[in-house]
Amino acid sequence: MKLILNPASKSGKGKKYWALWQEKLNKMQIDFRSNETESLQHAYNLAKDSNENVIAVGGDGTINQVINGLMTAENTKSMGVLYAGTSPDFCRFHNIPIQPEKALRCLLDNKKKMVDVIEILYKDKDKSVSAYFACSCNIGLGADIARFANKWRKVFGDCIGTGLGVIKTILANKTFNSSLTIDNKEYVFARTNHIFIVKNPFIASGLKLNLNIEPDDGRMFVVLIHDLNRLKLLSVLRHLYSGKIVKNDKIFIKECREVSVNTCPIKEIEFDGDPQGFTKMTAKIIPGKLSLICGQNNA
């Protein structure tokens, strides 16, 4: 196996687990190689060019780049995770332990499952970019929240850092018009606050949506919040932490296999924890695309 190690994960604190994992692998005489990344692009390249099973050692950003590398590789390989990040949304959904000893045990059990990913096409400057994600894409508030959280969670911690980012971004938020094509049916919303496109109900740092979805069911969801002023939008925040946001009558929810989103004005998008590009964008579920080493029961 190839370990792709991100030294920047968890603001550098994730490295404390490396020696433990490598020592145990050596004691068990497991054949592995370690590669420390210089950037997220480097993680992508290492995964794409690997002839072994690829293990993402880092957070959701590292996981996302490894997935993208594997999706564009010529040879089909499996992916595992030794989590060393701050917000384990991917691991929680796929029943991958985050405790170091249990995570290694899960990896070495080598139980594999074919799980879904989402292919996304979006705008970056004057070009179209194709990529993949496995958790969620956010249009509206997501990019600004991610920037704030990535900067301040090392000071305030993951949950508080993200929560403060949500509050700050909501207070500065301006609504936008959106048009969606969901499985060939058109929907138009004025005064849109935010759009989620999710394969994973765990959004970030304790934020979640009460959705009936499994890692390998070939489905994704669009969740759109609209027509809320800042005060009401802040009141929805507690529902995001309880998972009951779907009870709000200003929430549009649609299960689908493909969605295209256009906005006026153009909005920035974020997926799997990092700002990426801009609308117009299209997302499409790719069933059973990724061979994942994981727990066999969904968390």
Between residues 231 and 48, the one the model is more confident about: 48
Alpha-helical runs (H) found in 49-200: 60-71, 89-93, 100-109, 142-156, 158-171
Q: Where are the domains of the chain?
A: 2-85, 118-287
The SS3 call for residue 148 is helix
- CATH 2.60.200.40 assigned to 118-287: yes
**3-state SS class at 196:** strand
Alpha helices in 79-217 (DSSP H): 89-93, 100-109, 142-156, 158-171
If you average pLDDT over residues 268-297, what whole number do you get? Answer: 90
Tell me the CATH class for 2-85. alpha beta
How does residue 299 score in pLDDT terms, banded at 50, 70 and 90?
very low
- What are 102-161's pLDDT values in tens digits? 999 999 999 999 999 999 999 998 899 999 999 999 998 766 776 666 665 666 565 666
**DSSP-derived pairing of the beta strands 78-83 and 274-293:** parallel
User: 35-87, pLDDT tens digit by residue?
Assistant: 999 988 999 999 999 989 999 999 888 999 999 999 998 877 899 999 988 77
294, 111 Cβ separation under 8 angstroms? yes
Q: Is 212 exposed, middle or buried (CB count within 10 Å of its CB: 0-12, 13-18, 19+)?
A: exposed
Distance (Å, rounded) from C-alpha 67 to C-alpha 107? Answer: 16
User: What pLDDT digit, counting tens, does each position of 163-215 carry?
Assistant: 676 777 777 778 899 999 999 999 999 999 999 999 999 987 667 888 999 99
Q: How confident is the model at residue 246 (pLDDT cuts 50, 70, 90)?
A: low
CA distance 42 to 64: 12
Kindly tell me the burial class for residue 191, based on how many C-beta atoms sit within 10 Å of its own C-beta (0-12, 13-18, 19 or more).
middle
**What is the rounded CA–CA span in Å between residue 30 and residue 69?**
24
